[in-house]
Structure formats: structure tokens, C-alpha cells
Amino acid sequence: MLPASTSLAASASVELNALVADIQLLPEGYGPTSIWGFDGTAPGPEIRLAQGSRLQRRLVNSLPEPTSIHWHGVRIDNAMDGVSGLTQNAVPSGETFEYDFVVRDAGTYWYHAHNKSFEQVARGLSGALIIEEPDEVDVDREEVLILDDWLLDPDTAQIVGDFAAPHAMSHGGRIGNYITTNSVYNLALDARQNERLRLRLINASNARIFPLRLDGLQGWTVALDGMPLVKPLPITDTIVLGPAQRIDLIVDVVASEGETAHVVHLGQGDAFSQVAFEVRAGGAVKRRGVPSPLPPNALSMVDLGKARAMSLTMEGGAMGGLRSATLGGDSKSIGEIVDAGRFWAFNGAADGMDGPAFAELSQGEHVRIAIANDTVFPHAMHLHGMHFYEIGNDGNLGALRDTTLIERGDTREIAFVADNPGKWLLHCHMLSHAASGMSTWIDVA
């Protein structure tokens, strides 16, 4: 039974009101943009809690259609996971739903609508969820930077409405024409020389992969998808942030007073400033030493030797050569699949939501899944409810993640302990892909 929404105003929780609202998204001179946002803002309000505490929010749905909230990356009770149609019914307009769960892990997470996500997230329904470590991290300050893109009509300043456009679904997903940080174009912040910043980067876009470089900033990667690295990793190269991924950096401002440091977005050909840090007077004379690692979260270690091995082959899309797949239990031609609005298949099924991808996993079982990207597009595969280790080319356990970016033609193996019971979605976080064949789920019982 799915938990029902309530119309009672009985609990003490804070409201999170999903609203239609106007915000000034384009620069002054353009008109306001009508968005859907939590509390009428985009990004929604930052939710910040201490590790181990309870998150309590009453979703109030003031939108013209049903919605739900998913707490991306949180190892959560299944009933609170917010997946409409799998873990709860979508909350109808005018109704409410109580989210109430304990946040076990510190780190950088985010929350977003999970009903028709390809439309509702594109309209603005997302926000940062920050879970703080018990002890303060040794930095001067931190910045939460939500990277996003919007598909806007510059004449009207409105969001382009064809969310289910077949071209976006069958190609790289819905890509915006207006790139923002915290909904600001060319965000500029103040900084001081040798100031130490913790940057929490969140990719909230529908489908854009952000390749980033630091200029006038030097530092370390300290966490991926919320989970601390064992050792801070010096940043020497391009940082790639796929849809839904997060990265925590500790950086020092090495640019001098009067200069500007940047998080640079490496676009196709034209690099531009994603975030600028204008270096003001009053810096420190010296840089600090190497930071300590963030304290680890308590996750089960996988024993690859006893892990059950499974595979998931991703096929389809434009130029993908998919000829047939199952839909509603029957084998269908590619033409019939496309007529049904599907362009992709997982293990030969274009309707992976009809049943779990694999035979039931028993709670505590160790598993490894080889995910093969047999398409000509990259995909950002996300598992709900449990973080997984990426398995490196050396066959060893790599970083813990909840979303893994798999380039065309590549296979990525992931491994995890199935220690969280329930039905957990496994899907591409290019949200147009998720809506057109790239969604399935696993069942941990």
C-alpha cells in the first residue's frame, strides 16, 4: 500500500509550498519568468540540518497538477523517497504530504519534484539539502552553488513548454539556453586572497553535463555525491559534473586583491565564467596547509568476492540502432515503441517500470551491476536509497556515488550492499531519458 496524502494540518512540520510564481530570471530589462518553485523560489529554500536529526516538511501542493518530493542521495526510509507511482501516490493539487525522516549521512544533497520530473524540475522545483558534519570544517566560509540551465524564449522570458519534445528525449535530453548558478547568470561573489572556501556544487539541470575548471582558485575535491573521499584529492584537471551529481571542493583563493578568480565553464569552444570571485582587500598573507578529510559516513563495505553479479544494457536513442524492445510485455518494433513515446530500453525493455530490473535482492546482499552504455549519448545513472561504489578499471572499489556518468560505448560497474529495504528506482538522470524508457527499479526485501 502506498502512503496516502493527508489534508490534515496536524503536525509541527514546516511547510514547503510548491507554487507557481514569477521570478526575475533573465537580466533586468527582460520581463519576469513564470516558474514552479518550492515556496515560489528557484532554487527552493535551502534546507540545512545537523547529521542525525529529523527532516520534517509538509509538502503543500499549490500547483495545477500532482507532485511529490524526492530527497536525492539520502539513504532514506522507502516510504519517504518521494517517487510518485512507486513509493507514494503523487500528491494532488490542494493536498499535502508529510515527509519525516532521519538524515544519517552528512553531505551535499538536493531535493526535487519526482512526478513528471522532466517537466517539473525544468520548471524550477528543486533546492539544496545540506547535512552538516558534527564538527565544523576548517574553512573561512562555504558557498552552495546550484548549477542549472533553463530553456527560455528570449522574447517572452518564459520557459519553453514542449517538455516532452521527441528530439530532446531521443537525443541528449532537454538542454537549456540560459545557464545559471543559484538562478543568477554570471554569479559574482566577493572573496579575499588566501581565503579558504568550501564550495558545494550541485548540478540541478535536466540533462547538461558541466565541465568546469578553476582559475585563481586552487584546492581539493573532498566529497562526491555527498560522500567524503578518504583523502582530499588535489584538483589538477577538469571537473565534470553530470546531471544530479554533486561535488564538494575546498579551495583557496590564490588570485590577488583586485583580480577575479573563477569557476570556469568549459563550453563547446567558448569558456565562460560560471561563478566569479572578486578578490577584495583584507586577505591573509599565507595559504593554509592541506585540509583534513571530511569525517566518513557509516556505509557498509562491499565484498566483491561474494557479490552477486548482474548486468544492465542501455540501448536506443537517436542513431542507436535499436530495432525492437518489449512494451507491455510484448515485443514491439522500434516504430511502435517510438509511437508510444519511448526511445530507450534497459535489457531489452522499454517499460522498465512494469517490474524490477532484477530478481529480488535480499536485504544485506552484496551486488555488482555492470551497466553498459550501448548508445551514442552519455547517461547519468542514479540509484535511489543506497550509495554505490564505482568499480575502477583496476577492479577495485572507487568513489562512493549515487549517480554515475557513463560515456557512450563505456561500461561502468557499480557495487553496493543492498541494506535498505524497499523498491528503489534506478534511472537515467537525463530526465527526458528517464521519461522515455530509461527507468526501472530494484526490490530489496
Q: Taking CB under 5 A as the rule, does residue 384 contact Cu ion?
A: no
Please identify, using beta-carbon distances, which residue of 208 and 384 lies nearer to ligand C2O. 384
Q: Taking CB under 5 A as the rule, does residue 63 contact Cu ion?
A: no
Element (H, E) at 166: helix 166-170
CB of 413 to Cu ion, least distance (A): 18
Q: Are strands 397-401 and 330-333 parallel, antiparallel or unpaired?
A: unpaired
Pick what 112 binds: Cu ion, ligand C2O, none; C-beta below 5 to 8 Å, kind-dependent. ligand C2O
Query: Which residues lie below 8 Å from residue 51, measured CB to CB, with a gap of 6+?
Result: 103, 104, 105, 106, 131, 132, 133, 134
Please identify, using beta-carbon distances, which residue of 114 and 401 lies nearer to ligand C2O. 114
Report residue 331 as a C-alpha cell: 515485443
Please identify, using beta-carbon distances, which residue of 200 and 382 lies nearer to ligand C2O. 382
Please identify, using beta-carbon distances, which residue of 193 and 206 lies nearer to ligand C2O. 206
Edge-first strand listing for the sheet containing 96-102: 33-38, 14-23, 54-61, 96-102
User: Which DSSP state fits 286?
Assistant: S
User: Which DSSP state fits 354?
Assistant: G
CB of 239 to ligand C2O, least distance (A): 20
Q: Taking CB under 5 A as the rule, does residue 433 contact Cu ion?
A: yes
Please identify, using beta-carbon distances, which residue of 60 and 125 lies nearer to ligand C2O. 125
CB of 397 to ligand C2O, least distance (A): 23
Q: How many CA atoms lie within 13 A of 71 on its CB side?
A: 30
Q: Taking CB under 5 A as the rule, does residue 428 contact Cu ion?
A: yes
Please identify, using beta-carbon distances, which residue of 217 and 350 lies nearer to Cu ion. 350
The binding site for ligand C2O (CB under 6 A) comprises 70, 72, 112, 114, 244, 382, 384, 425, 427, 429
Is the separation of the CB atoms in 212 and 263 below 8 Å? Answer: yes
Rounded CA gap, 38 and 127, in Å?
8
Pick what 433 binds: ligand C2O, Cu ion, none; C-beta below 5 to 8 Å, kind-dependent. Cu ion
Q: Are strands 246-253 and 324-327 parallel, antiparallel or unpaired?
A: unpaired
CB of 241 to ligand C2O, least distance (A): 14
Pick what 379 binds: ligand C2O, Cu ion, none; C-beta below 5 to 8 Å, kind-dependent. Cu ion
Please identify, using beta-carbon distances, which residue of 159 and 202 lies nearer to ligand C2O. 202
Please identify, using beta-carbon distances, which residue of 25 and 380 lies nearer to Cu ion. 380
CB of 340 to ligand C2O, least distance (A): 21
Among 114, 116, 379, 427, binds Cu ion (CB under 5 A): 379
Pick what 401 binds: Cu ion, ligand C2O, none; C-beta below 5 to 8 Å, kind-dependent. none
* CB atoms inside a 10 Å sphere around CB 3: 13
Edge-first strand listing for the sheet containing 187-192: 187-192, 271-280, 260-266, 210-215, 239-241
Pick what 207 binds: ligand C2O, Cu ion, none; C-beta below 5 to 8 Å, kind-dependent. none
CB of 147 to Cu ion, least distance (A): 18
Q: Taking CB under 5 A as the rule, does residue 244 contact Cu ion?
A: no
Rounded CA gap, 120 and 33, in Å?
15
396: exposed, middle or buried (C-beta count within 10 Å: 0-12, 13-18, 19+)? exposed
Pick what 391 binds: ligand C2O, Cu ion, none; C-beta below 5 to 8 Å, kind-dependent. none
Region of 182 (left: φ > 0; alpha: ψ -120 to 50; beta: rest) is: left
Q: Which chain residues interact with Cu ion by CB under 5 A?
A: 379, 428, 430, 433
